[in-house]
Structure 1
């Protein structure tokens, strides 16, 4: 009897100790909240948690998918309520504003410590910086390019391995590639086409032409410099593709992004404004199409590409900066990028990793390594608010409703008003 009583009392003593120990273990666990508008980040979180469990680390991460249309409003609400995530990967054009209001923590030391920092897209870094300090880094990447039909190049005697690099070469090639193939008086193969019915498309495809002509929309401080001879010359060239050279369909002044893609798939278009997001789709929609990837042609300046996609940063409200830093270092690791992103043909933020087994299966993906080096992103505190002005004035010019010079000047004035 005494033995049973002793055992009973020992159990009573041990149970609270176990409960206390379990509670201590649970409370010592650090859980990072990761927000992203792209579902691919969930794979990074899963890999991170597996690694943390393997190394007996108390750090864990949880993922929340933020719909594109809610990525700004939800973040503002969270900042106001003091419930911001630890890490946020969102549309990179939003970072100048959020950095300016102190929403993100300084990541300069982390950036400087990265052994692969020189392989990150240098032209995109300024949009995640302020006062010489880095607050966010490019992570999930989109780049604008020219896609071209190599068979059509061969048919007119153009070298399919040497696409046009300059405006005059581009126009000359487009003239050769514009054809009335069945001789019925109607052009059924166009040299190129524009995308005139979407403001985002002007930013993504028109601006690289501007940069390649030594023009710009904003300085790195967000000052408006759009009203310039270089920009007017670029818009004039776009207008001439339709109205003077007649190498682009007049209807393309009202095309959306899907229209130019469909025309390229249907082999009605020889040179197409495109991006990395078209590559895997083309392999599915037109498996026999022999196509190449090229820089958007330049004029006076060097070739450029719009650096779109996401940047990633640690929010100022995070109470787990060291753990968040560990997550970001893990997210940029070769293992994660080649396991989670490369097999899906997503562009990697590190150009040193482009020669991988997955990209080798679709060689066009490897072309983006050199294109990534010339990526640039417009810097503005009110990026989305300029869309109406851009669409109205630039499309008006392409449609012949507004003189080119007037369109550029008035567009610049409206953007200036929006920013005040």
Structure 2
């Protein structure tokens, strides 16, 4: 979500690769209709390697067919997919950052699995945001693979020292600002503790942490087909104003304005931040002795939402083993895989009906995070990467003016966002 190859480059590579597609039979790991055990190939990006590997290992231990996983560096993943598509050398299965799935479905890289999904008894419980982005022209092409949600973490020890109730985190963005300010005023004199922190020079960070406050307030950041930006009006401008005030009052960490993404989650685990938006997947890696509260991201006056990130997974359109590939995919969202593999390792489950399971029930924070899957959103836009994630894209310029610079420029800069979305 936070460091991606600019999608305009990836899209160009994909288009060129697809244009180069010629005749010939699709590649596969074995002949179709083989009577013996089949090995299906799978690619995933390094960012989701741990979860993918756990699922593959568990499947391989209990099934005759096997899955061979290849992990590709995240920054190289999109060009590798594009090159493989052009050469008709895609693996049988490949995962993709959910935000880019519409680019792949619209280019015909995934196999249509609508009828297979319809037979799953839990089809209506599959993570709705992932399923929406995996749907193209009313046909379904992917399943949820991994999920990462944005939530608010607060440090209970710092809250107690600052005179706040350590068991009561923020329920509105205004309360978030008030509590962060209190931590700063009470504990920030030595410069080691700060009220809050965010990635101020990272387009994906703004998307992941600010946009849920807009949704929680009942607003939108784009129109439904991702071609018109709404970030130049409330509630987005209200959210900007609150964070701008925190920065101007010195409540944010000193490197907030320069933070480009790679290290933005590193300060909270050190016990230096009172309250801040964080990826849900970092909960399990926090220091064992740190007392952490978790709350949904709220709008200025309430509500709750989250950015549902992570990966979706599908069968490549050129796979010679679609049945064997589907056996793994369907198993990966089964009760066994979701509870005994994902939930057991404190990963967010891909099904809303398993939010409260035997592992998550031991930690109310995990139950809360799982419950947000049904309430969160994953925005849809074919030009998402070049518009919102590219460091040279129009969104980052707009967000930085709104928070650190001349907020009166937001309206004119929004026109650049629209132009990018409509290219």
Q: TM-score range by the shorter chain?
A: 0.7 to 0.9
Match of 1:135 in 2: 141
Report the CA distance shift for 1:119/1:81 in structure 2 as closer, same or farther (over 3 A).
same
Is residue 2:238 matched to residue 1:233? yes
Report the CA distance shift for 1:115/1:196 in structure 2 as closer, same or farther (over 3 A).
same
Is residue 2:169 matched to residue 1:163? yes
Q: Contact 1:180–1:187 (CA<8 Å) still a contact in 2? A: no
Select 2:90's aligned residue among 66, 75, 84: 84
Match of 1:399 in 2: 404
Match of 2:115 in 1: 109
Q: Contact 2:127–2:350 (CA<8 Å) still a contact in 1? A: yes
Report the CA distance shift for 1:164/1:24 in structure 2 as closer, same or farther (over 3 A).
closer
Q: Contact 2:174–2:242 (CA<8 Å) still a contact in 1? A: no
Match of 1:323 in 2: 324
Aligned residues: 385
> Superposed, which structure 2 residues align to 1:294-305 within 5 Å?
294-299=295-300, 302-305=303-306
Report the CA distance shift for 1:375/1:292 in structure 2 as closer, same or farther (over 3 A).
same
Mark the structure with the bigger radius of gyration.
1
Q: Structure 1, residues 45-83: CA drift from partner, whole Å, max 9, x if none?
A: 343334332xxxxx4432222221222111111211112
CA distance in 1, matches of 2:266, 2:39: 45
CA distance in 1, matches of 2:325, 2:245: 51
Is residue 2:150 matched to residue 1:144? yes
Match of 2:416 in 1: 413
CA distance in 2, matches of 1:258, 1:35: 24
> Superposed, which structure 2 residues align to 1:112-261 within 5 Å?
112-181=118-187, 188-230=192-234, 231-243=236-248, 245-249=249-253, 251-257=255-261, 260-261=264-265
Secondary structure in 1 matching 2:299: coil
Q: CA deviation at 1:143?
A: 0.6
Secondary structure in 2 matching 1:417: helix
Q: Greater CA deviation, 117-126 or 77-86?
A: 117-126
- RMSD over aligned CA atoms reads 2.8
CA distance in 2, matches of 1:118, 1:341: 19
Select 2:60's aligned residue among 49, 54, 60: 49
Q: Contact 2:232–2:414 (CA<8 Å) still a contact in 1? A: no
Report the CA distance shift for 1:397/1:168 in structure 2 as closer, same or farther (over 3 A).
closer
Report the CA distance shift for 1:24/1:273 in structure 2 as closer, same or farther (over 3 A).
closer
Q: Contact 1:235–1:404 (CA<8 Å) still a contact in 2? A: no
Q: CA deviation at 1:316?
A: 1.7
Q: Greater CA deviation, 62-71 or 135-144?
A: 62-71
> Superposed, which structure 2 residues align to 1:26-41 within 5 Å?
29-37=37-45, 38-39=48-49, 40-41=51-52
Match of 1:344 in 2: 345
Q: Contact 1:123–1:374 (CA<8 Å) still a contact in 2? A: no
Q: Structure 1, residues 290-349: CA drift from partner, whole Å, max 9, x if none?
A: 111111121367321111110011222223322222221111122223333334332221
Q: CA deviation at 1:95?
A: 0.7
Report the CA distance shift for 1:64/1:260 in structure 2 as closer, same or farther (over 3 A).
closer
Match of 1:266 in 2: 270
Q: CA deviation at 1:364?
A: 2.9
> Given the two structures, how large is their TM-score scaled by the length of structure 1?
0.82
Match of 1:13 in 2: none
User: Structure 1: any 5+ residue segments left out of the alignment?
Assistant: 1-22, 54-58
Q: Contact 2:176–2:275 (CA<8 Å) still a contact in 1? A: no
Q: CA deviation at 1:404?
A: 1.8
Q: Structure 1, residues 255-278: CA drift from partner, whole Å, max 9, x if none?
A: 345655443233332102211222
Report the CA distance shift for 1:270/1:258 in structure 2 as closer, same or farther (over 3 A).
farther
Secondary structure in 1 matching 2:237: helix
Secondary structure in 2 matching 1:346: coil
User: Structure 2: any 5+ residue segments left out of the alignment?
Assistant: 1-30
> Given the two structures, how large is their TM-score scaled by the length of structure 2?
0.81
